[in-house]
A and B are shown apart, each in its own frame.
Chain A
């Protein structure tokens, strides 16, 4: 800020800091949200490029382009970047932008910590990607043990860069924990007068619960990588059988974090869909309170199902049954949500703008991913599906056509509010249809090759899987390059030439505090809190 004290008498005239300092030292929730979103978008292309290396290699059986060692680094970094660098930061970015505006707060409760949360991320991913750059330059391997970094692959057999990875995960963890604390403090303390908990938009509710999940499990992730660090460098034997440890313990601690983590990546998506669907159905959301309770029950259940990732490690039958039934129980609150979205659309005045298309795509394809999840929950079936492409198909349906599609829906939905300009609807629709066709070409055949026994994370495969893999690879390249349409559309909307100005309400059926603000949303909003009736 300049030394001259300027009077903040006019909300519509923004006093933005200028130059790089605006971004480096930003404490503004909108600027930080924007940075999170751009960071995530950049990482989407990085992680996507790695995925294309994988798909190029898998176009034919045998080894074509990369060595198996390098292939392992690709699968590892693709997973890590997509989970921690794309999906999570994108949702944090959306929370930064939208939560204060939706609850009538002037900013996040802890703006300086917000700045720090964001700026840890480029450091964390710089470190992780540095290990890949070094690998390409022939200076040792990048992390190559899969995104789940099971011991002893990551301890006894981990490459030297594993220590880079550990430090990087520590930084991501600190960033997420601080982000979560900030969101909880904002929601508890900064709601506008009259904005009771049960009046909060569902997106705010889902993020509120997600933030608690983050607080509960990111420290466990930090714990498990710390154990790895001491096992590797300071002579402990948490996961080393020779010293009395147990590698299976790693899997328990990891998945105690890992399962709630998958809900961290999907609950905010549920929130986005619960904002988009009522808007374009021009109806209130069906079953508001059941949505809130369903979200809470999913969050609770996520803590008692972790061992369904490890059915094949050898567990007592009673334990396997417990985890199987607990896992299947999650289908109930999830089913409630899908039912509510469909009921919201029922007899609504539906229109199909791009955000709605992505939302409906989400509901349909996320449900496919949910059903395959139920199949995987069945213990005896899982013995066959475990570590095959069926699992890959399952989690890509919930993460790509689930989480990522909801992020696309959110970006199209709120972009006019952020920039003041309408995006190009035609390009948006092209983006949706090309993505949806190609993404199914990419992931649907994986179900079949998985059921037939093609193992995941292997650069070579049996001849009989060739054709399905070729479809998947073609789908992958088309899907990958389709995302450039989104990039072009976003840039075009921000620049605002040849675009239509957005109204304040933007969408005819939009309801909520964020739509009462001007478009683009002013740099400082709700400096005097609105009153919610």
Chain B
């Protein structure tokens, strides 16, 4: 509008500048939710995210009055052609007692591959009391064609874990390292229906 008074155009500019700034800030906030979410999960144990690696266990008395059953679950992500299992299905431990469990992994292909295991602990309220000094999940696993490997996990259940916890499930999923050969970031839907069809046959 040519008839628009000057001060009005100036205040338009001010409003636009402020609002655009808000837009940029909120776009940034969307991305800030990613680290915020991780922090939130670490604090609450949400989604069974286990705490960071501890270098050594504090010398705590094992609480022999309680016994917790720790179960192990292993699974492979789609298209991960390895074999992966825990050598024991479950162990009974006293809170505060360091325990070692072995897992077996075998690259069944004729290619060298890199895999990564992602842990998850259920129930969520137990996750942050489940501490590991040694775990194959901390590093990428490089396996040559046909190679087999026994991998240990050393863990302790913090005695301060809630009295209500009687069973803890530690689950690992092995993935092909993203970006390496065979890692299907985008799976064709047709291949899914094919896989489903094969499954039901």
Q: Which residues of A contact B (CB under 8 A)?
A: 69, 106-107, 109-110, 141, 144, 155-159, 177, 180-181, 184-185, 188-190, 215-224, 227, 231-232, 235, 237-238, 240-244, 246, 248-249, 252-253, 256-257, 314-316, 319, 527
Contact = CB atoms under 8 A, between A and B. Distances in A.
Contacts of A156: 184-187
A252 B11 CA distance: 36
A156 B191 CA distance: 12
Contacts of B47: 246, 248, 314
B30 A241 contact: no
A248 B186 CA distance: 18
14 contacts: A69-B193, A156-B187, A189-B8, A219-B30, A220-B29, A223-B28, A227-B30, A232-B185, A242-B77, A242-B175, A246-B47, A256-B30, A314-B46, A316-B124
A73 B37 CA distance: 31
B168 interface: no
Contact of B12 (A159, A185, A220, A249): A185
Contact of A185 (B15, B30, B178): B15
Contacts of A185: 12, 15-16, 19
B104 interface: no
B192 A189 contact: no
Nearest to A190: B8
A253 B30 contact: yes
B185 A184 contact: no
A159 B124 CA distance: 33
Q: Give the dominant DSSP class at A's interface.
A: helix
Given A235-B178, A241-B173, A242-B183, A222 B189 contact: no
B74 interface: no
B19 A181 contact: yes
A69 B22 CA distance: 40
B185 A527 contact: no
Interface string B161-201: 00000000000010111110001111101001100000000
B187 A159 contact: no
Contacts of B118: 241-242, 244
A219 B183 contact: no
Contacts of B178: 235, 237, 240, 242-243
B3 interface: yes
Majority secondary structure, B binding face:
helix
Contact of B179 (A215, A235, A257): A235
B8 A316 contact: no
B186 A222 contact: no
A216 to B, nearest CB: 6
B10 to A, nearest CB: 10
B177 A242 contact: yes
A314 B46 CA distance: 8
A157 B187 contact: yes
Contacts of B30: 219-224, 227, 253, 256-257
Contacts of A69: 189, 193
Given A181-B16, A242-B77, A316-B44, 7 more contacts: A156-B184, A188-B15, A220-B30, A222-B27, A235-B179, A314-B46, A315-B46
A156 B24 CA distance: 28
Contact of A215 (B19, B31, B33): B19
B116 A219 contact: no
A87 to B, nearest CB: 22
Contacts of A220: 26-27, 29-30, 33
Contacts of B177: 242
Nearest to A180: B19
Contact of A219 (B16, B24, B41, B186): B24
Q: What are the 9 A-B residue pairs with the smallest beta carbon separation, nearest first? A: A223-B30, A242-B175, A219-B26, A219-B27, A220-B30, A243-B178, A185-B15, A181-B19, A219-B23
Contacts of A107: 1
Contacts of B37: 246, 249, 252
A184 B15 contact: yes
Contacts of B16: 110, 181, 185
Interface string B38-57: 00010011110000000000
Contact of B189 (A157, A180, A316): A157
Contacts of A224: 30
A215 B192 contact: no
B125 interface: yes
Q: Which of A221, A222, A243, A248 has the most CB of B within 10 A?
A: A243
A216 B26 CA distance: 6
A226 to B, nearest CB: 8
A231 B124 CA distance: 27
B46 A316 contact: yes
B20 interface: yes
B22 A216 contact: yes
Contacts of A218: 23, 26
Contacts of B15: 109, 181, 184-185, 188-189
